């Protein structure tokens, strides 16, 4: 007769449930999907799991995209960065210098991604999809993207070119935050929605080399 | 210490970007002549010529993707199509390929030979007169069949006999021993055609120069026609009908996974009997049979074309009293270019490159209106030249070697202006000096003008941009710190 696994040999049902929960927690710890190698940042994104949509508020000129970039550095699955910045193209050397594997990160230019790139959202070829400051993205589009991400176990970063506010929410996003370079020596992250709240600061040197060495 | 040793392969081409223009393929078993290129010629029953230069970019792309040598790329494909007994010679002129192929057949050689490799070039120099004269009979037959101007078989044969007597008399062992002889002097002494053959035998050029190239026509490519019972203009209806047509197109030929489509024509007749022909082109060869029954890829491409067509018609007919969307009354769908690709080629895609399934990415890309952008670093400190855009899956293996250059871009923005914008002298902005850069100053007339001083500019709102100043004092904005 087959015997019960040792972890389920507890006498009461309640104890069994507790053991099961502990096991689940252990598994969850092992499989943190977004990792940057920066402890503070990893702690903030520990709860993000496949199927989640993370909304970022990053106005142009404030260098805030370096923060989501940190989460695409460590052993990333196939990912796509959808962008549309007027007259601007990808400066690949900078991405490579930050340690991004450009064999796994693809770019595509579109200002209306859900309409123009629909097949991309219907397949799970890319496990990370970054939608960077789309010009056209309706609430229906966000609902569609979020639903597809849940079905296909993808993580979607939606980057807005303005600061997010709690007043105008996004029910589809599990995490909403603003990021920007607050001074020469630090980056700031302000959490609007999610397990964390308030503002944290990251030293510049943990993200990139300090300008000071050039002066 | 990891020391990489480069072994010189004498049977391989010396330069990485070198590619032969023609191939001569002998196969005792029948096979498709269009395996390597859509342009081919039947030289004899078992021998085909193929013009590889028509597909040069495609094959070089495959070679780069698979990170292999030309012989490793083509050998499994040729084995798949022609079995083990084939002999293929790749070279820059079809006549040279034929001569060398004859030599290999005579010596019972098997497999693929790159004529421009060091080893084969040296062997080619040892070819005797038998090898030189033997393929001339088939050449004469082709010249007769195409009714070549100034070609008469009797006079050609008498010149051949005269040349053979001359060779015996002066005792020259191989054609190469007589390489100093000019083609014009051969022509004067032994006639125009032997002069041309002499020229083809030793020329470095890939020009055919009177070589009788008789293009082998493809068998008729499949097509389907649809006469609509009522005019339609909505995509939702058109899509259903097109899916049926694509299915009918598949039924026209026996399923063959090797067969891939490059282009299709969609000939549409509008309500006013105007005919519009649009092209469904696929970035990567597309297998219709494998996309059954949904035909998603073909239908996505048709949808993009339909949207463009409707947009153009609306713009054109804006001031006319016509229906909002001009309906279609019939159309014809036809395959206009296809290529036979061995399955090995596709299996290799999935196996290589650190488990990245490029075949899947390419299939997805076929469904999109735009291509994915892929980049790799280059060895340059000059920002515009420090990376290149490359096709999907063609990253080179030695990318890590560029790290000293790419690491210099750490304080530069993620996005940049491909054409730097002129700006006024930013007196009010805070300037952080980054570096002085000079690009290939030895190539320009004024070396000073290639020098740029790079800065981060911060405006009063704290927004940063990336700019440079030339030695003339002009300022340009090159990027934004998004």
B358-366 vs B296-316: helix axis angle to the nearest 10?
A: 30
Please answer yes or no on whether B482 and A96 come within 8 Å at the CB atom: no
> What residues of chain A lie within 8 A of the CB of B296, using their CB?
119
Higher-scoring residue by pLDDT: B102, B313: B102
Which residue in chain A has the smallest CA separation from B465? A61
Name which of A57, A96, A100 to mutate to probe chain B: the one with the most chain B Cβ atoms within 10 A of its Cβ.
Answer: A96
Whether B365 contacts chain A with CB within 8 A: no
d(CA A120, nearest CA chain B) in Å = 7
| Residue A84 clears pLDDT 80, i.e. is over it | yes
- List CB contacts of B222: < 8 A, sequence separation 6 or more: B249, B252, B253, B334, B335
Residue range A80-103: mean pLDDT, rounded: 91
- Across the beta sheet with B415-423, what order do the strands follow? A88-90, B415-423, B475-480, B464-470, B451-458, B430-438
| Beta strand spans in chain A (E) | 53-57, 79-83, 88-90, 105-109, 128-132, 155-160, 175-183, 186-193, 198-203
Which domains can be identified in chain B, with CATH numbers?
22-202 (no CATH), 239-365 (3.30.1490), 411-481 (no CATH)
At which residue do the structure tokens 């709102």 appear? B461
Share of chain B above pLDDT 90, in %: 42
d(CA B125, nearest CA chain A) in Å = 45
Q: Of A148-157, B69-78, B122-131, B388-397, where does mean pLDDT reach its minimum?
A: B388-397
pLDDT confidence of residue B338: 78
Q: Is A154 left (phi over 0), alpha (psi -120 to 50) or beta?
A: beta
Scanning B317-453, the segments in alpha helix (DSSP H) are: 343-351, 358-366, 403-406
| Residue B132 clears pLDDT 90, i.e. is over it | yes
The band of A12, judged by pLDDT with boundaries at 50, 70 and 90, is low
pLDDT confidence of residue A116: 93
3-state secondary structure of A212: helix
Residue range A105-131: mean pLDDT, rounded: 94
Whether B373 contacts chain A with CB within 8 A: yes
How far, in whole angstroms, is CA B45 from its chain's centroid? 28
Helix (H) or strand (E) holding B275: strand B275-286
The encoded tokens of residue A98 equal: 């930050």
Higher-scoring residue by pLDDT: B397, B13: B13
Average pLDDT, chain B: 85
- Cα–Cα distance measured from residue B78 to residue A122, given in angstroms and rounded to the nearest whole number: 37
Which residue in chain B has the smallest CA separation from A162? B482
> What residues of chain A lie within 8 A of the CB of B419, using their CB?
87
The band of A214, judged by pLDDT with boundaries at 50, 70 and 90, is very low
Scanning B146-212, the segments in alpha helix (DSSP H) are: 153-170, 183-190, 192-202
The encoded tokens of residue A185 equal: 């020596």
Q: How is A28-53 classified by DSSP, letter by letter?
A: HHHT-----S-HHHHHHTTT--TT-E
- Are the C-beta atoms of residues A81 and A105 closer than 8 Å to each other? yes
- Cα–Cα distance measured from residue A197 to residue B439, given in angstroms and rounded to the nearest whole number: 48
d(CA A100, nearest CA chain B) in Å = 11
The encoded tokens of residue B87 equal: 């002999």
The band of A75, judged by pLDDT with boundaries at 50, 70 and 90, is confident
> What residues of chain B lie within 8 A of the CB of A83, using their CB?
415
Helix (H) or strand (E) holding A120: helix A118-122
Please answer yes or no on whether B461 and A61 come within 8 Å at the CB atom: yes
> What residues of chain B lie within 8 A of the CB of A64, using their CB?
482
Candidates A61, A108, A181; nearest CB to B372: A108
The band of A35, judged by pLDDT with boundaries at 50, 70 and 90, is confident
pLDDT confidence of residue B456: 93
Candidates B364, B410, B415; nearest CB to A85: B415
Please answer yes or no on whether A96 and B374 come within 8 Å at the CB atom: no
At which residue do the structure tokens 């979607």 appear? A156
The band of B215, judged by pLDDT with boundaries at 50, 70 and 90, is confident
Whether B294 contacts chain A with CB within 8 A: no
Q: What is the pLDDT of residues B445-482, one digit of tens each?
A: 776 777 899 999 998 888 999 999 988 899 999 999 98
d(CA B366, nearest CA chain A) in Å = 10
pLDDT confidence of residue B353: 43
The band of B7, judged by pLDDT with boundaries at 50, 70 and 90, is low
- ipTM score of the complex? 0.84
> What residues of chain A lie within 8 A of the CB of B384, using their CB?
none
| Residue B50 clears pLDDT 70, i.e. is over it | yes
The band of A22, judged by pLDDT with boundaries at 50, 70 and 90, is low
- Are the C-beta atoms of residues A85 and A159 closer than 8 Å to each other? no
| Residue A28 clears pLDDT 70, i.e. is over it | no
Candidates B353, B356, B370; nearest CB to A110: B370
> What residues of chain A lie within 8 A of the CB of B412, using their CB?
91, 93-94, 97
Q: Of A17-26, A126-135, B342-351, B378-387, where does mean pLDDT reach its minimum?
A: A17-26
pLDDT confidence of residue B386: 86
Q: What is the pLDDT of residues B406-439, one digit of tens each?
A: 777 788 999 999 888 899 988 888 899 998 888 7
pLDDT confidence of residue A30: 52
Higher-scoring residue by pLDDT: B444, B90: B90
Pairing type for strands B47-51 and A155-160 reads: unpaired
Question: Computed from CA positions of residues A40, A41, A42, A47, in that sequence, does the dihedral angle turn out positive or negative?
Answer: positive
Q: How big is the CA angle at B99 (ends B95 and B194), to the nearest 5 degrees?
A: 60
Rounded (10°) CA dihedral B110, B111, B112, B116: -30
Which residue in chain B has the smallest CA separation from A59? B482
Name which of A92, A117, A183 to mutate to probe chain B: the one with the most chain B Cβ atoms within 10 A of its Cβ.
Answer: A92
Per-residue burial over B414-423, b = 16 or more CB atoms within 10 Å of its CB, e = otherwise: bbbbeebeee
- List CB contacts of A19: < 8 A, sequence separation 6 or more: A7, A8, A10
pLDDT confidence of residue B5: 46
The encoded tokens of residue A99 equal: 């340690």
d(CA A105, nearest CA chain B) in Å = 8
| Residue A66 clears pLDDT 90, i.e. is over it | yes
Other beta carbons within 10 angstroms of residue B262's beta carbon come to 18
Helix (H) or strand (E) holding B432: strand B430-438
pLDDT confidence of residue B271: 86
**Binding-site residues on chain A for chain B (CB distance < 8 A):** 58, 60-66, 69, 78, 80, 83, 85, 87-98, 102-104, 106-110, 116-117, 119-120, 123, 125, 181, 208-209, 211, 214-215
| Residue A94 clears pLDDT 70, i.e. is over it | yes
Name which of B296, B355, B358, B414 to mutate to probe chain A: the one with the most chain A Cβ atoms within 10 A of its Cβ.
Answer: B414
pTM for the whole structure = 0.70
Please answer yes or no on whether A119 and B367 come within 8 Å at the CB atom: yes
Of chain B residues 210-269, which have a CB less than 8 A from chain A? none
Length of chain B: 482
Residue range A35-53: mean pLDDT, rounded: 91
Per-residue burial over B442-462, b = 16 or more CB atoms within 10 Å of its CB, e = otherwise: eeeeeeeebbbbbbbbbeeee
Please answer yes or no on whether B296 and A119 come within 8 Å at the CB atom: yes
Candidates B300, B411, B416; nearest CB to A88: B416
Higher-scoring residue by pLDDT: B167, B57: B167
The band of B286, judged by pLDDT with boundaries at 50, 70 and 90, is confident
d(CA A161, nearest CA chain B) in Å = 9
Residue whose C-alpha is closest to residue A186's, from A168, A162, A202? A202
Candidates B374, B406, B463; nearest CB to A106: B374
Q: Is B274 exposed, middle or buried (0-12, 13-18, 19+ CB in 10 A)?
A: exposed
- Are the C-beta atoms of residues B405 and B377 closer than 8 Å to each other? yes
| Residue B270 clears pLDDT 50, i.e. is over it | yes
Q: Of A5-19, A174-188, B47-61, B315-329, where does mean pLDDT reach its minimum?
A: A5-19
Residue range B84-94: mean pLDDT, rounded: 93
Pairing type for strands B223-232 and B328-340 reads: antiparallel
Average pLDDT, chain A: 85
Length of chain A: 215
Question: Computed from CA positions of residues B310, B315, B316, B322, in that sequence, does the dihedral angle turn out positive or negative?
Answer: positive
- List CB contacts of B263: < 8 A, sequence separation 6 or more: B279, B280, B281, B282, B335, B336, B337
Residue whose C-alpha is closest to residue A73's, from A108, A106, A34? A34
pLDDT confidence of residue A211: 47
Residue whose C-alpha is closest to residue A71's, from A107, A99, A108, A113? A99
Please answer yes or no on whether B413 and A91 come within 8 Å at the CB atom: yes
Per-residue burial over B351-379, b = 16 or more CB atoms within 10 Å of its CB, e = otherwise: eebeebebbebbbbbbbbbeebbbbbbbe
pLDDT confidence of residue A23: 56
- Are the C-beta atoms of residues B333 and B245 closer than 8 Å to each other? yes
pLDDT confidence of residue B381: 82
Question: Computed from CA positions of residues B59, B60, B64, B68, in that sequence, does the dihedral angle turn out positive or negative?
Answer: positive
Please answer yes or no on whether B408 and A95 come within 8 Å at the CB atom: no
d(CA B232, nearest CA chain A) in Å = 23
């Amino acid at each position: 007769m087959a015997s019960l696994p040792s972890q389920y040999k507890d006498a009461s049902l309640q104890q069994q449930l507790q053991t099961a929960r502990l096991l689940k927690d252990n598994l969850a710890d092992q499989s943190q999907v977004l990792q940057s190698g920066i402890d503070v940042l990893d702690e903030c994104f520990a709860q993000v799991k496949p199927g989640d949509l993370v909304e970022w508020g990053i106005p142009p000129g404030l260098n805030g995209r370096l923060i989501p970039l940190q989460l695409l550095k460590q052993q990333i699955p196939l990912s796509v960065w959808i962008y549309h910045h007027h007259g601007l193209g990808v400066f690949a050397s900078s991405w490579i210098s930050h340690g991004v594997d450009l064999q796994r990160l693809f770019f595509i230019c579109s200002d209306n991604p859900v309409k123009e790139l629909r097949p991309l959202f219907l397949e799970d070829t890319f496990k990370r999809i970054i939608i960077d400051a789309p010009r056209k993205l309706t609430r229906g589009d966000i609902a569609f993207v979020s639903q597809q991400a849940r079905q296909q176990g993808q993580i979607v970063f939606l980057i807005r070119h303005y600061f997010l506010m709690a007043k105008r929410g996004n029910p589809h996003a599990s995490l909403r935050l603003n990021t920007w370079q607050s001074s020469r020596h630090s980056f700031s992250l302000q959490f609007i929605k999610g397990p964390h709240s308030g503002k944290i600061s990251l030293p510049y040197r943990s993200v990139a080399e300090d300008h000071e060495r050039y002066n | 210490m990891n020391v990489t040793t480069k072994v010189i392969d004498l049977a391989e081409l010396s330069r990485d970007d070198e590619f032969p223009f023609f191939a001569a393929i002998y196969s005792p078993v029948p096979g498709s002549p269009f395996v390597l290129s859509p342009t081919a010629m039947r030289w004899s029953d078992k021998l085909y010529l193929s013009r590889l230069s028509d597909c040069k970019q495609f094959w070089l792309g495959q070679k780069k993707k698979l990170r292999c040598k030309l012989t490793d790329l083509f050998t499994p494909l040729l084995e798949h199509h022609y079995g083990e007994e084939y002999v293929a010679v790749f070279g820059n002129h079809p006549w040279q390929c034929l001569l060398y192929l004859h030599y290999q057949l005579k010596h019972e050689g098997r497999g693929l030979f790159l004529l421009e490799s060091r080893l084969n070039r040296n062997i080619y120099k040892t070819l005797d007169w038998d090898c030189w004269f033997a393929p001339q009979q088939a050449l004469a037959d082709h010249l007769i069949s195409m009714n070549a101007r100034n070609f008469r078989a009797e006079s050609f044969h008498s010149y051949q006999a005269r040349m053979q007597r001359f060779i015996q008399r002066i005792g020259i062992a191989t054609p190469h021993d007589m390489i100093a002889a000019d083609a014009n002097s051969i022509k004067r002494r032994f006639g125009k055609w032997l002069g041309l053959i002499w020229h083809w035998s030793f020329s470095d050029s890939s020009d055919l120069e009177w070589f009788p190239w008789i293009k082998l026509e493809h068998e008729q490519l499949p097509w389907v026609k649809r006469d609509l019972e009522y005019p339609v203009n909505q995509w939702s209806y058109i899509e259903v009908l097109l899916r049926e047509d694509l299915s009918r197109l598949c039924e026209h030929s026996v399923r063959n996974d090797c067969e891939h489509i490059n282009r299709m024509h969609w000939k549409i007749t509008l309500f006013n009997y105007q005919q519009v022909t649009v092209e469904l082109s696929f970035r990567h060869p597309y297998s219709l049979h494998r996309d059954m029954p949904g035909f998603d890829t073909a239908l996505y491409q048709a949808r993009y074309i339909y949207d463009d067509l409707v947009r153009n018609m609306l713009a054109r007919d804006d001031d006319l009293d016509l229906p909002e969307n001009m309906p279609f009354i019939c159309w014809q769908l036809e395959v206009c270019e296809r290529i036979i690709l061995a399955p090995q080629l596709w299996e290799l895609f999935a196996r290589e490159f650190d488990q990245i399934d490029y075949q899947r990415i390419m299939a997805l890309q076929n469904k999109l209106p735009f291509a994915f952008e892929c980049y790799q670093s280059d060895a340059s400190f000059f920002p515009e030249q420090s990376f290149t855009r490359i096709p999907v899956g063609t990253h080179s293996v030695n990318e890590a070697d560029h790290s000293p250059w790419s690491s210099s871009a750490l304080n530069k923005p993620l996005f940049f202006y491909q054409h730097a914008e002129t700006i006024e002298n930013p007196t009010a902005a805070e300037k952080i000096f980054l570096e002085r850069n000079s690009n290939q100053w030895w190539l320009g007339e004024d070396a000073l003008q290639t020098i740029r001083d790079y800065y981060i500019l911060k405006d009063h709102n704290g927004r940063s941009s990336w700019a440079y100043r030339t030695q003339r004092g002009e300022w340009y904005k090159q990027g934004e710190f998004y």
